[in-house]
């Protein structure tokens, strides 16, 4: 069975239906790019409490609700493409919602399957591009989203969804 490389896991954001008019989206740009360079987070964890009744060797485990960690998307900064978007969303941190979709691409970097989608993820952070006069590495920016419920996509069209 073939493995998937990290470069085949990508993510993009879109403005959800019903969002306020004029909220900037990041879908496909004029240069055809829509994916972020790095996509991390979204881990699902549940807190537990271990209860030892007197004399028991092993605890009874009490579960709590699951929590989904923040998702951070990072992209190399292109002033022509990204400066207008960053200028528009700076004041929207904490108020704007986006749909964040993770996709798996095949070896030719063509969409193979939707992995997971976070609907109405709240934008909670924008990290602006940093500068370093002694570096030739590309500048990048990142967006951080707080996640509510998860929608699991089971087809490439996204027509069959279930909420977790």
pLDDT tens-digit readout, 75-101: 999 998 889 889 988 999 999 999 998
What whole-number distance in Å separates Cα of residue 48 and Cα of residue 43?
A: 16
What whole-number distance in Å separates Cα of residue 57 and Cα of residue 60?
A: 10
Indicate the pTM of the whole model.
0.80
100, 11 contact by CB (below 8 A): yes
Query: All domains of the chain, ordered by start, with CATH?
Result: 6-163 (2.30.110)
Higher pLDDT, 69 or 149: 69
User: How high is the pLDDT of residue 94?
Assistant: 94
Name which of 9-13, 56-60, 128-132, 138-142 the model is least confident about.
Answer: 9-13
Tell me if residue 87 falls in helix, strand or coil. helix
For strands 161-163 and 151-153, give the pairing.
antiparallel
Q: How confident is the model at residue 18 (pLDDT cuts 50, 70, 90)?
A: confident
Q: Tell me how far the alpha carbon of residue 86 is from its chain's centroid.
A: 17
User: How high is the pLDDT of residue 108?
Assistant: 73
């Amino acid at each position: 069975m073939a493995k998937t490389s990290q470069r085949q896991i990508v993510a993009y954001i879109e403005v959800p239906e019903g969002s306020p008019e004029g909220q900037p989206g990041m879908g496909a740009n004029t240069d055809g790019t829509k994916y972020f360079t790095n996509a991390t987070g979204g881990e699902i964890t549940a807190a537990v409490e271990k209860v030892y009744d007197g004399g028991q060797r092993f605890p009874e485990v009490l579960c709590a609700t699951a929590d989904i960690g923040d998702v951070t998307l990072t992209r190399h900064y292109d002033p022509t493409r990204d400066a207008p978007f960053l200028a528009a969303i700076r004041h929207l941190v904490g108020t704007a919602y986006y749909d964040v979709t993770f996709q798996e691409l095949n070896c030719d970097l063509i969409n193979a399957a939707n992995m997971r989608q976070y609907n109405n993820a709240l934008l909670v952070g924008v990290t602006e591009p940093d500068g370093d006069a002694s570096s030739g590495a590309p500048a990048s920016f990142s967006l951080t989203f707080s996640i509510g419920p998860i929608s699991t996509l089971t087809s490439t069209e996204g027509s069959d969804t279930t909420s977790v």
